Chains A and B, each alone.
Chain A
């Protein structure tokens, strides 16, 4: 045993600098004290700048949370939240209210070669399980990651007809702050899609729904929406 929490804080930070992002998450679910030390390590301004994409996606019975780490994209966290069919203490470990991981939790890592760089992109694709409420559990996990990496989600997408009004309100309440814009579009008297984005002047406008993607890169005041039938595939 090597009691890292008894190391001086700067030494511990040096140790944590040698962990990849999945190992850091694994460590931070060990205990509250461990998590707060990891937060302390990640909270420097330099670290905060290393996240440019933090995307949350609500699907019908699962959700995804993706975080890309920069400046040179070498690591991605792609969490998938799935329903826990049958809980067993032998197989699963509770990490937060309503959230579980399997006791042999693995990063399910995939290495991808860059086109122009000799370095590899590490995609960590671990699975988290929720017991009852997908919306609440996803928000709990997003909050956990937000605290750990000192970053807020940059984009959000959801399939509206899979959630009731109360759940949608809760999601909106959690994700809409003074620094973000929420846009809801109604099509044929039904909510078609909605987008949440940062209100920063230089941000790219990106809309997600489960069927389509809308994109608008025009400056404020000159609204022009391009319609894409499938995500990131222009309509010809």
Chain B
């Protein structure tokens, strides 16, 4: 994939102590550099790097295109991964209610509008970053605090049964691709 020269290169908290850096290109052709420790938080990216056989010598010459994630989300993701790259591994959750404190830095990072959060969570799911996924889901779960069912329906965009039925009817009534 060729990258236009005028495309901005986004520098996100670059690390000097770690010489191994990788380049990632978002769907809208923004280029990001990310350290090895940080990129390992994404199972998808790390599997890709491993399978492509990228090394410290050739990593920067072989940018990794990620066509499902735009530049805005990628910037957030790279910031998150750089921030948490040296975190210790989380212990297994024992209770089904996941009790953890969402750090203030991460809460700020995820203080974005709902549409952006929705897109970010899909990107996080695609890149398979468990910690960011847990944090995003925690933010979404927190929206349910002290809410009535009617408020939940609005916040989470839940159609009523009648609306679901109408949608289903219109889907079955509409002609298929050949009709």
Tell whether A pairs with B. yes
Interface of A toward B, CB cutoff 8 Å: 1-8, 10-11, 14-20, 23, 26-27, 29-34, 46-47, 50, 71-72, 74-75, 93, 95, 101, 103-106
Is there contact, CB below 8 Å, between B148 and A18? no
Q: Smallest Cβ distance from B111 to chain A, in angstroms?
A: 14
- Contact present for A17 and B97 (CB under 8 Å): yes
Q: Which residue on A lies nearest to B118, using beta carbons?
A: A2
Q: Are A26 and B147 in contact (CB under 8 A)?
A: yes
Q: In the bound complex, how far is the Cα of B159 from the Cα of A34, in angstroms?
A: 9
8 Å CB interface, B77-103 against A: 94-98
- With a cutoff of 8 Å between Cβ atoms, the chain B residues found around residue A26 in the complex are 144, 147-149, 152
CB <8 Å contact, B137 and A30: no
Q: Which of A2, A14, A71 contacts B133 (CB 8 A)?
A: A14
Q: Which residues of B are at the interface with A, using a C-beta cutoff of 8 A?
A: 94-98, 114, 117-118, 121-122, 125, 133-134, 137-138, 140-150, 152-161, 164
Given A7-B121, A8-B125, A17-B137, is A29 in contact with B149 using a C-beta cutoff of 8 Å?
yes
Q: What chain A residues lie within 8 Å of B140 (beta carbons)?
A: 2, 4, 15, 18
Once the chains bind, are B97 and A3 in contact (CB under 8 Å)?
Answer: no
Interface centre among A3, A15, A20, A32 (most CB of B within 10 A): A15
B164's nearest neighbour on chain A, judged by CB, is A33
Structural contact, B137 and A31, CB atoms closer than 8 A: no
Are A32 and B155 interface neighbours, CB within 8 A?
A: no
**What are 21 A-to-B residue pairs whose CB atoms are below 8 Å?**
A2-B157, A4-B156, A4-B157, A4-B158, A5-B158, A7-B121, A8-B125, A17-B97, A19-B144, A23-B144, A30-B149, A30-B152, A30-B156, A30-B158, A32-B164, A74-B97, A75-B97, A95-B149, A101-B149, A104-B148, A106-B146
Given contact pairs A14-B133, A74-B97, enumerate 15 new A-B contacts (beta carbons under 8 Å): A1-B114, A2-B117, A2-B155, A3-B157, A5-B158, A7-B118, A11-B125, A17-B97, A17-B98, A17-B141, A18-B97, A18-B98, A26-B149, A30-B152, A95-B149
Known A-B contacts A2-B143, A15-B141; A27 and B157 likewise in contact (beta carbons under 8 Å): no
Contacts of B160 in A (CB 8 A): 31
Q: How far is the CB of A149 from chain B (nearest CB, A)?
A: 11
| A18-B149 contact, Cβ under 8 Å, with A3-B156, A4-B157 | no
Tell me which residues across on chain B come within 8 A of A34, comparing CB atoms.
158
Enumerate chain B residues within 8 angstroms of A29, measured Cβ to Cβ.
Answer: 149
A16 to B96, CA, bound (A): 10
Query: Which of A15, A23, A74 is B137 in contact with, Cβ under 8 Å?
Result: A15
Q: Which residues of B contact A6 (CB under 8 A)?
A: 118, 157
Are B118 and A18 neighbours in the complex by a CB distance under 8 Å? no
Known: A1-B114, A26-B144. A18 touches B138 (CB 8 A): yes
User: Which residues on B sit within 8 Å (CB–CB) of A75?
Assistant: 97
- The CA of A2 and the CA of B120, in the complex, are separated in Å by 12
- Chain A residues, CB < 8 A from B164: 31-33
Instruction: Give the residues in chain A near B121, CB-CB below 8 Å.
Output: 7, 11
CA distance A15 to B121 in the complex (A): 11
Closest to A16 in B: B141
A7 to chain B, nearest CB (A): 7
